[in-house]
Amino acid sequence: MAVIDQVITDDYALYNGDCIEVMGKMPDEKIHLSVYSPPFGGLYNYSSDDRDMSNSANYDEFFDHYRFCVRELHRITIPGRITAVHCTDIPTDNSGKGHLIDFPGDIIRLHKELGFDFIARHTIWKEPLWVRNRTMTHNLAHKTIVEDAAYAGVASADYMLIFRKRGKNPFPLQNPNGFFGNYPGEEPMPAEILKYRGWEGDQKENRYSHWIWRRLASSVWDDINMGRVLPYQDCKEPDDEKHVHPLQLDVIDRTIILRSLPGETVFTPFMGVGSEVYGAVCQGRKGMGVELKKSYFRQSIKNLELAKLPEVANQLAIEFK
C-alpha cells in the first residue's frame, strides 16, 4: 500500500496512505516534533478501512496496533526531542451508566515502555454545555442532577501529553529573543505588554515573551478557542461520526511554538484534514502528514493551500464555532 497519493511542496508534504507503512519508509532520527490525536481507542470510527485503527475489535487490540505507531515515531524522532499526543478519558458507553477508561494513562505507559520519558501534561478545559451540545452525552445535562446526580457526568478535559525521546538533543531549542509571535488563545494581551514585542535586550525584561510563556507553560489551558478549527464539513461521509471534530489550532500552535523552532520538521501520523501540518507551516516550520481516509486527505490539500493566507483560513475556521 504505502503511498496512494501525495502532494509535496517546499513547505509541506501530504501523504494518503497507512501511517505505519509510510513511516517505515522514513529515515531514522529526522523528525524534530510530532503532534497528533490518535484514534480514541474505539470511541469513534472514522472509516470502514481494515487498516484504520479505529476499527479495532476492542481496546486491547487497538493498543496492539498503536504500539507499532509509537515504535516508528520513536525511530524517526531525533533524540531528546518531543512527541505530543492529544487524548481524553474514554467512556465505555454514551448512556451515562458506564464508566471512564484511563486512555491517557495507558498512552503514558506505552510511551515509557518504548523509549520516551513523560515530561508534561496540559489539561484543556472545555465548557460543559458546549460539550453536551457537541457530543449529546446523556449524563451531561442538567436533567441528570434533577433526577439522580449519582449518574451526573462532567465535561471531560482533553489532554496534550508531552513525551521526550531519551538521549541528548543535538539541536537545543533556543529562543534568544524569547517568543515574539501572536498568542494562540482567547485571553487578550494587555496593551502595555505589546510594546515589548521583539525585545532584543535583557530577556528578564521581555514582558511580551514572559506573558506568552506563562500561559504556554501552564498545566491548564483554559482559553482555547474551541471553534478555531480548519474546515472539515465538506469531507464528511454518510457513515462518519456526527461529532468528529478537528483538533483546535490553538492547541497545535502552542505545542509547535513551545516545542520546536522555525525551519524544523513537524510530523503527524493521523493528519485528518491537515490541522497539524497547517499549524506547522503557519508557524514557519516544515509540515509532514499521513492520512488513510481519502476524503480527509482531499480536504487537507484544500486547507494547506490556505496556509500562506492565514488571515483567510482563520476566518473560515472561526465560522465553525
Domains of the chain: 3-124+156-318 (3.40.50.150)
Cα–Cα distances in angstroms (integers) from residue 10 to residues 105, 182, 286, 288, in the given order: 38, 24, 8, 11
Tell me how long the chain is: 321
Residue with cell 487490540: 61
Kindly state the helix (H) or strand (E) to which residue 67 belongs, with its residue range. Answer: helix 59-76
pLDDT bin (cut points 50, 70, 90) of residue 166 is: very high
pLDDT bin (cut points 50, 70, 90) of residue 50 is: low
d(CA 21, CA 25): 7
Neighbours of 168 (CB within 10 A): 7
Tell me the whole-structure pTM to 2 decimals. 0.90
Contacts of 199 (CB under 8 A, 6+ apart): 177, 178, 180, 205, 206, 207, 208, 209
- Going by C-alpha positions, the residue among 184, 188, 173, 155 that lies closest to residue 247 is 184
Dump pLDDT digits (tens) for 276-300.
Answer: 999 999 999 999 999 999 999 999 9
| Amino acid 44: pLDDT | 58
Dump pLDDT digits (tens) for 101-151.
Answer: 999 999 999 999 999 999 999 999 999 888 888 777 778 888 888 988 988
